[in-house]
A and B are shown apart, each in its own frame.
Chain A
Amino acid sequence: KAGVTQTPRYLIKTRGQQVTLSCSPISGHRSVSWYQQTPGQGLQFLFEYFSETQRNKGNFPGRFSGRQFSNSRSEMNVSTLELGDSALYLCASSLYPDLNQPQHFGDGTRLSIL
């Protein structure tokens, strides 16, 4: 069974640009969450989607947005990129947004802002 797939694996952008990251959850998983990982702040929750609806959002500015499609695939978008947005962006999927369901993480997209 394929794991969580994130594309692209690496991305280099410049300040002011926007970027879209993609996540394909494990087959059958319907809940997708996004996290930002940096050396200074660690892993921080961005948002969670289930059945194409955002269920929960972390403490990030409105430049960070996401969506989920009917096939459970998810994308996140960051507009007007800042140097501080350089990070590893991780996607995790689970069957349902239920604490009894373990979350499975992808290997992330490494975003570098120049």
Chain B
Amino acid sequence: QQQVKQSPQSLIVQKGGISIINCAYENTAFDYFPWYQQFPGKGPALLIAIRPDVSEKKEGRFTISFNKSAKQFSLHIMDSQPGDSATYFCAASHPNTGNQFYFGTGTSLTVIP
């Protein structure tokens, strides 16, 4: 059973556009929601993370929006660049399981010039 559901599976965006990736979860015990970026041949790299006590967090061109009541969170990439082309994973974890992260299935983002 997939504890974190991610969509879309793939996304194509024009350079300068906004990329939006969505995730949903069921376990209300989750209290930490990171996003990871993975390039081919590399391990995932932490991009940005949020906790449920805030509804939005912004770091540069990357923003996480969090809707606790809907149990959904999303990643927005503003002014998308070809260098942003990668696979993005959302994840979630809860206090009882330390560093055990439940990952979404990933979104392959392609930014075309």
Contacts and interface: CB of A to CB of B under 8 A. Distances in A.
Given A43-B89, A102-B34, A104-B46, A92 B99 contact: yes
B43 A33 contact: no
B46 A45 contact: no
Contacts, number: 64
A8 interface: no
Interface residues of A, number: 26
Interface residues of B, number: 25
Given A4-B43, A43-B44, A105-B44, A99 B104 contact: no
A48 B100 contact: yes
Given A102-B46, A106-B43, A31 B99 contact: yes
A58 B103 contact: no
Interface in B55-113: 89, 91, 93, 95, 97-106
A22 interface: no
Contacts of B103: 35, 42-44
Nearest to A4: B43
Contacts of A55: 98
Nearest to A31: B99
Interface in B30-59: 31-32, 34, 36, 41-46, 49
The 5 closest A-B pairs by CB, nearest first: A105-B43, A43-B103, A97-B98, A99-B32, A42-B105
Interface of B: 31-32, 34, 36, 41-46, 49, 89, 91, 93, 95, 97-106
18 contacts: A4-B43, A31-B98, A33-B99, A33-B100, A42-B103, A42-B105, A42-B106, A45-B101, A50-B98, A55-B98, A97-B99, A99-B32, A99-B95, A99-B99, A103-B46, A103-B101, A105-B36, A108-B43
